[in-house]
């Protein structure tokens, strides 16, 4: 895919990767709090894809399953749309944004009620070839 074609594909791609080679995937409105999801995402940022997937497969956190699926999707996007080799991909961008919060009420003593916040997350992961990531660090 040429640079001009890639520019026309998606504004979201431009915000995540810019003009660089790579692919991304995102899971939106996931029912996990952003704080808990960020703990898992911080584990895989900057790791090679195979190492990150094996780490997520055995991580005890509940968010690791969702992050695993997003990373698999990003790798599949890189292989099919960009024609990149899975062996040299690195997790370059890993971010968790806060989604909308569902507000619920729970009854308490003496007729009172307290608010329960059910938070959601938008998880975005991008993978790029290792040489592109290394060149970015040198700059």
CATH classification at residue 130: 3.90.470.10
For residue 38, the model assigns a pLDDT of 96
Let me know if residue 128 belongs to a domain: yes
Is 117 inside a domain boundary?
Answer: yes
Q: What is the mean pLDDT of residues 106-127?
A: 96
Q: Which CA distances in Å does 30 have to 15, 64, 97, 121, 124?
A: 21, 12, 11, 5, 11
**Proportion of the chain above pLDDT 90, given as a percent:** 74
Residue 10 lies in a domain: no
pLDDT-based confidence at residue 3 (cuts at 50, 70, 90): low
Residue 125 has pLDDT above 70, yes or no: yes
**How many domains are there within the chain?**
1
Residue among 91, 123, 125, 126 at smallest CA distance from 27: 123
Would 13 be classed as within a structural domain? no
| Domain contains 115 | yes
pLDDT band at residue 131 using 50, 70 and 90 as cut-offs: confident
Average pLDDT value for residue range 76-96: 92
- 19/59: higher pLDDT: 59
| Domain extent for 52 | 22-138
Within a domain: 35? yes
CA dist., res. 105 & res. 89, Å (int): 45
pTM, two decimal places = 0.86
Print the SS3 string covering 46-92. CCEHHHHHHHHHCCCCCHHHHHHHHHHHHHHHHHHCCCCCHHHEEEE
- The position carrying tokens 């992961």 is 125
99: in domain: yes
53 against 19, higher pLDDT: 53
**More reliable by pLDDT, 21 or 107:** 107
Kindly state whether residue 82 falls inside one of the protein's structural domains: yes
């Amino acid at each position: 895919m040429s640079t001009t074609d890639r520019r026309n594909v998606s504004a979201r791609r431009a915000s995540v990767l810019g003009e660089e080679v790579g692919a991304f995937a995102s899971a939106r409105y996931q029912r996990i709090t952003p704080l808990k999801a960020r703990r898992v995402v911080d584990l895989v940022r900057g790791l090679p894809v195979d190492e990150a997937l094996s780490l997520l497969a055995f991580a005890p956190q509940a968010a690791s399953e969702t992050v695993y699926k997003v990373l698999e999707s990003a790798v599949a996007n890189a292989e099919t749309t960009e024609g990149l080799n899975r062996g040299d991909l690195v997790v370059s961008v890993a971010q968790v944004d806060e989604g909308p919060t569902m507000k619920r009420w729970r009854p308490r003593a003496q007729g009172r009620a307290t608010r329960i916040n059910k938070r959601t997350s938008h998880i975005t992961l991008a993978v790029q070839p290792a040489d592109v990531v290394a060149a970015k660090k040198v700059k």
